[in-house]
Amino acid sequence: MPADADMTRRRRSPSLPCAVRVQAAGFALGHRRDGSVRRLVFSLLDIHVRAKRRAGVRSVDVTIDASRGLWARVFSPPPTKGEAAQALPVVVFFHGGGFVLFSAASCYYDRLCRRICRELRAVVVSVNYRLAGPARRFPAAYDDGLAALRYLDANGLAEAAGVAAVDLSSCFLAGDSAGGNMVHHVAQRWAAASAASPSSSTTLRLAGAVLIQPFFGGEERTEEELELDKAALTLSLARTDYYWREFLPEGATRDHPAAHVCGGGEHDVEVAEAFPAAMVAIGGFDLLKGWQARYVEALRGKGKAVRVVEYPGAIHGFCLFPELADSGEFVEEMKLFVQEHRTKRVQ
Q: Tell me, what CATH number does 205's domain have?
A: 3.40.50.1820
170 is catalytic: no
Catalytic residue among 194, 316, 326, 341: 316
> In this structure, is residue 80 part of a structural domain?
yes
> In this structure, is residue 36 part of a structural domain?
no
Domain range for 144: 44-339
Q: What is the pTM of this model?
A: 0.94
Catalytic residue among 260, 286, 326, 341: 286
Q: What pLDDT does 343 receive?
A: 60
> In this structure, is residue 1 part of a structural domain?
no
Q: What pLDDT does 320 receive?
A: 98
Domain total of the chain: 1
Q: Which residue has the higher pLDDT, 241 or 56?
A: 241
Instruction: Give the neighbor-by-neighbor strand order of the sheet with 88-94.
Output: 58-65, 70-76, 123-128, 88-94, 166-176, 206-212, 278-285, 306-315
Catalytic residue among 170, 177, 236, 327: 177
Phi-psi group of 162: left, alpha or beta (phi > 0 → left; psi -120 to 50 → alpha; rest → beta): left
Percent of the chain with pLDDT over 90: 82
> In this structure, is residue 14 part of a structural domain?
no
**Average pLDDT rounded to a whole number, residues 248-261:** 97
How does residue 346 score in pLDDT terms, banded at 50, 70 and 90?
A: very low
Q: What pLDDT does 30 receive?
A: 96
How many residues can be counted in the chain?
347
> In this structure, is residue 186 part of a structural domain?
yes
> In this structure, is residue 320 part of a structural domain?
yes
**Average pLDDT rounded to a whole number, residues 156-183:** 89
286 is catalytic: yes
Rg (CA), the chain: 19
316 is catalytic: yes
